[in-house]
């Protein structure tokens, strides 16, 4: 479970996200954070799966980063959080520091397409970036047997091509959950399940 301090930090980021949306700010100025319910789910899934090598694409100012870094603490694992926009990542860094989660997190300031090749044997990946990139980024992942990949905005952005793509992966099982804006949760087969 997330701690009270972690929930409060998520609630603060979420309140500002709602305010930014209400103000009608340009897309580039909005932080587009993950729903708190989705963050709770992501955290529980990562801890329950005992995921140790975790990676997210699109950390923004850090809602999902808090959820996964807290999971990394619980599993003695580590989170790689990739974000392309420096100010949002700087804010996430500060929040993680306050929550004493920074030591479980590698914050990578980069375009994910340039750095995904560095990471292998991933147990859990969260995809929450530009929607046209979901399929190519999924294909760039080096996943461990039995890995879980979660993608946000399935309902809000009609991500049918992504859903079709992950469900066509041999041996994978995948379901869209009505949590937040819709989460596609895809599990790869264990090595022995591929036979
Ligand atoms: C929907 S927001 C992520 C929200 C975040 N997961 C949270 O829980 O607060 C999408 C983020 O993806 C970042 N992004 C978009 N394309 C990217 C890329 N190619 N590499 C890394 N980050 C990217 C954007 O800068 C933006 O901050």
List, as own/partner pairs, every contact residues 166-173 make where C-beta atoms lie below 8 angstroms and the sequence separation is at least 24, other chains included: 166/138, 170/194
- Ligand 1 nearest-atom number relative to CA 64: 8
pTM above 0.95, yes or no: yes
56 close to 84: Cβ distance less than 8 angstroms: no
**How far does the centroid of ligand 1 lie from the alpha carbon of residue 167, in Å?**
24
Specify the pLDDT at position 195.
45
Contacts of residue 8, Cβ cutoff 8 Å, sequence gap at least 6:
none
Q: Whose CA is nearest to atom 4 of ligand 1?
A: 33
Measured at the CA of 112, the angle between CA 114 and CA 149, to 5 degrees, comes to 130
Residues 4, 133: Cα–Cα separation, whole Å: 34
List per-residue pLDDT tens for the chain, 195 residues long. Answer: 999 999 999 999 999 999 999 998 888 889 899 999 999 999 999 999 999 999 999 999 999 999 999 999 999 999 999 999 999 999 999 999 999 999 999 999 999 999 999 999 999 999 999 999 999 999 999 999 999 999 999 999 999 999 999 999 999 999 999 999 999 999 999 986 544
Distance from C-alpha of 156 to C-alpha of 5, rounded to nearest angstrom: 29
User: Which two structure tokens, joined as six digits, stand for 145?
Assistant: 């047997």
Rounded (10°) angle between helices 86-98 and 4-23: 150
Write out the two tokens for 156: 């809000």
Q: Whose CA is nearest to atom 24 of ligand 1?
A: 58
What pLDDT was estimated at residue 193? 58
For ligand 1, the distance from its centroid to the CA atom of residue 145, given in whole angstroms, is 26
pLDDT of residue 91: 96
Ligand 1 contacts (CB < 6 A) are 32-34, 57-64, 82-85, 88, 111-113, 128-130, 133
């Amino acid at each position: 479970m997330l701690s009270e301090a972690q929930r409060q930090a998520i609630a603060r980021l979420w309140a500002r996200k709602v305010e930014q949306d209400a103000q009608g700010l340009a897309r580039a100025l909005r932080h587009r954070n993950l729903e708190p319910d989705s963050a709770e789910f992501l955290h529980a899934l990562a801890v329950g799966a005992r995921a140790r090598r975790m990676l997210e694409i699109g950390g923004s100012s850090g809602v999902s980063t808090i959820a996964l870094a807290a999971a990394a603490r619980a599993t003695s694992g580590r989170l790689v959080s990739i974000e392309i926009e420096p100010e949002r990542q700087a804010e996430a860094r500060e929040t993680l520091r306050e929550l004493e989660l920074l030591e479980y997190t590698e914050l990578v300031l980069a375009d994910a397409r340039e750095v995904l090749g560095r990471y292998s044997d991933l147990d859990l990946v969260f995809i929450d970036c530009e929607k046209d990139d979901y399929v190519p980024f999924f294909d760039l992942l080096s996943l461990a047997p039995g890995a879980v990949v979660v993608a946000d905005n399935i309902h809000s952005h009609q991500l049918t091509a992504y859903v079709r793509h992950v469900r066509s992966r041999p041996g994978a099982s995948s379901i869209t959950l009505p949590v937040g804006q819709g989460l596609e949760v895809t599990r790869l087969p264990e090595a022995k399940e591929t036979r």
